[in-house]
Structure 1
């Protein structure tokens, strides 16, 4: 069968999709990955065929420009999930007025401007190539429109907690309780308009797919009513080279410090002082390996003797050598470290980070300090606890075992074949 993957131009969104793309490819299926033109290098570096569609844009810069229309706007993003998706983190916010206003705003500020540049071109390609299955990350809402236009089965492939599906559950429950004349739905109005433009109509699958592939284990997942396929996370971070110093095991407990690439890739910087954190750990009998881009390294005034700074290191190679990881609660970082198993100090600050960190702390293998509260003293105290108390490593081992029990991407392929046959339009070509 023909399988089309679709992602917005953001590494943190597309890289978690690619192991499944390769699983389908090695099972004999044709695979294409669609994204904006400048993003094709990220796709082709993984050995996959890229389909450039639409025009280039930067998700973060787009959001900053759109937020400029709001009162009290600033360049510093709000901590945590924006409305209406904050209801997935805090069910107390799941009220009809909050969700309807939130959907109206998020469609205007984010979903519409982020999807519009890709929709027309993606629909044209889908109609020409006729994919049997479209797999899309949850912010790539041009994808379900294109899938509906060509009659393909389609599903979401998550890169973190499913705030989108959980919020939609809350919304549909509350909408059913409203008088018929007041059942407004800003997201359905927008998606339905494009569906009708391309010969279809609105269905809930345009919001959450025919099914959802979730790479989080049950202990970290947000529960929803959606048809969900669990899949084991396979680390992939792009091209990687193993440095010689990583060949041998460390002589002291190794602590990884990494805050991901999204913030620095988009010029946002970090929400805490790397210099202060390094200084707070300088007298401990540990080795700190900090992945700090060169631009951020130049801001440092002193590098302690027990710290090694590198612009990049493949986390799947670093993780097995670590006794502890300090990071931003990024999805890929958290799951890569969890596979080995490594206790984690999470310093979340934006979007899904606080929610994922909360789930990880509840599982028991991690501690959480909001990045705005990550003082040197707080970080040092947490590091000493995580290294010194055996309960954290025991819970980290339980999380590793939970991850290992999930189906691999290769094992998921037969189920995807079955679901494609179930949901693909019967009027389409069969192949």
Structure 2
């Protein structure tokens, strides 16, 4: 069968999708990845076939999301309506959801989908995919799939805060007499659906099914939607294993990483790296910190127990680590969980705080929001991770939980069935 992937123009989003694309390709299916032109290199580096469509446009270009920008929220996180996951159902109103959808549709979803949608539909009509897999921010994938009658589903990039907000909207709108009131997101997507011969359905927002890469105990789902767990496969793009990683460390090794996104966009770190380095300088550990060359040039000192590198593959580093300090990005959090490493998260944005809280509740780590993550707090938390066996035990249990989930290869028959190419 023909399988078309499409995603938001963010390299980390694509990296989450790549292992499933490989699994489908090695099972004999024709796989292509359609995305904005600037993503072509990352797709090709993963050994996959790229289809550049539309024009380059993303959120970073327009508003420059960064921890220290003027006017930024002091404690960033989910924006309305997607912060519905953090609210009690009785505190959520239809007016609040409508206004949130209006803001997000006009300032975000249109910005990244409009440059993509027409060209993606045109390509889908040419290539005629049997299945389209898209991540929750790329509604263009659903529009293209519906335009050609293909099966389609979402690959989640974390907690399904998007599906949860939408289910609340559907629930509350159903209680309105005669369906009164606007639906900013639905009206926009419905316009596209009618342009290509269809009508709006909720599948344009939440897909026909969802694939969740998080360990089951960390998953956040919307009631009434169809989900399937998919085992996370660590992949961070092209990488080289340095020789110093060939040997086991002589003392506890701790990783410090704040993600690919901040490096890709040079937006600055959400925590004070110098303060963190100073706070652990006297500990009997080997700290391996992935710090960009630009950020390293701004440091005043580097302690003797720290090794600073621009990049190192996490799947090579983490099996040698006793703990990791990171920003709670889904790729890093999942990779640490996959290798059974206790985690100290310092989340900043989107669903990072939510996932960090669930990880801490599971017992595999600790968390402190980046706005409160002083050197003293990081030091104290790290000492707990290294000294209390329960964190290692719960991290091992989380790894076992992940390994019990169907792998990408095991998921291929499910996708074949959904596309009508496999036995029911």
Bin the TM-score by the shorter chain: over 0.9
- Residue 411 of structure 1 is matched in structure 2 by 410
Deviation, 1:422, is 8.6
Q: Helix, strand or coil: the match of 2:308? A: strand
- Residue 12 of structure 2 is matched in structure 1 by 12
Counterpart CA distance in 1 for 2:37 and 2:339 is 36
**Higher mean Cα deviation, 311-320 or 223-232?**
223-232
Count of paired positions:
417
Q: Which of 107, 110, 113 lines up with 1:112 in the alignment?
A: 110
Are the counterparts in 2 of residues 64 and 75 from structure 1 also a CA contact under 8 Å? no
- Residue 137 of structure 2 is matched in structure 1 by 139
- Residue 87 of structure 2 is matched in structure 1 by 90
Deviation, 1:18, is 0.5
Are the counterparts in 2 of residues 10 and 59 from structure 1 also a CA contact under 8 Å? no
Alignment of 1:181-260 (within 5 A): 181-224=179-222, 225-260=224-259
- Name the CA shift for 1:364/1:145 in 2 (closer, same or farther; >3 Å): same
Counterpart CA distance in 1 for 2:266 and 2:47 is 28
Counterpart CA distance in 2 for 1:101 and 1:73 is 24
Q: Which runs of 5+ in 2 are unaligned?
A: none
Could you state the TM-score of these two structures normalised by the residue count of structure 2? 0.95
Q: Helix, strand or coil: the match of 2:419? A: helix
Are the counterparts in 2 of residues 215 and 230 from structure 1 also a CA contact under 8 Å? yes
Are the counterparts in 2 of residues 220 and 356 from structure 1 also a CA contact under 8 Å? yes
Could you state the TM-score of these two structures normalised by the residue count of structure 1? 0.94
- Name the CA shift for 1:374/1:162 in 2 (closer, same or farther; >3 Å): same
Deviations 1:85-107 (A, max 9, x none): 00113335532221111111110
- Residue 2 of structure 1 is matched in structure 2 by 2
Counterpart CA distance in 2 for 1:144 and 1:129 is 15
Deviations 1:233-265 (A, max 9, x none): 001110010000000111100010000021232
Does 2:376 match 1:392? Answer: no
Deviations 1:363-384 (A, max 9, x none): 1111110001010111111011
- Residue 275 of structure 2 is matched in structure 1 by 276
Counterpart CA distance in 2 for 1:244 and 1:64 is 37
Are the counterparts in 2 of residues 258 and 291 from structure 1 also a CA contact under 8 Å? yes
Deviations 1:89-142 (A, max 9, x none): 333553222111111111011011110010111010000000000000111111
Deviation, 1:229, is 1.1
Are the counterparts in 1 of residues 75 and 371 from structure 2 also a CA contact under 8 Å? no
Alignment of 1:12-411 (within 5 A): 12-64=12-64, 74=71, 79-91=76-88, 93-224=91-222, 225-411=224-410
Deviations 1:204-241 (A, max 9, x none): 11001111011112210013221111110001110010
Counterpart CA distance in 2 for 1:193 and 1:75 is 33
Deviations 1:266-312 (A, max 9, x none): 23201111000000000000000000010111110100000000000
**Higher mean Cα deviation, 42-51 or 92-101?**
92-101
Deviation, 1:73, is 7.2
Q: Helix, strand or coil: the match of 1:304? A: coil
Are the counterparts in 2 of residues 77 and 350 from structure 1 also a CA contact under 8 Å? no
Counterpart CA distance in 2 for 1:74 and 1:127 is 43
Deviations 1:45-85 (A, max 9, x none): 011000000011233223449xxxxxx97256861111100
Are the counterparts in 2 of residues 62 and 114 from structure 1 also a CA contact under 8 Å? no
Deviation, 1:6, is 0.1
Moved over 6 A (4+): none
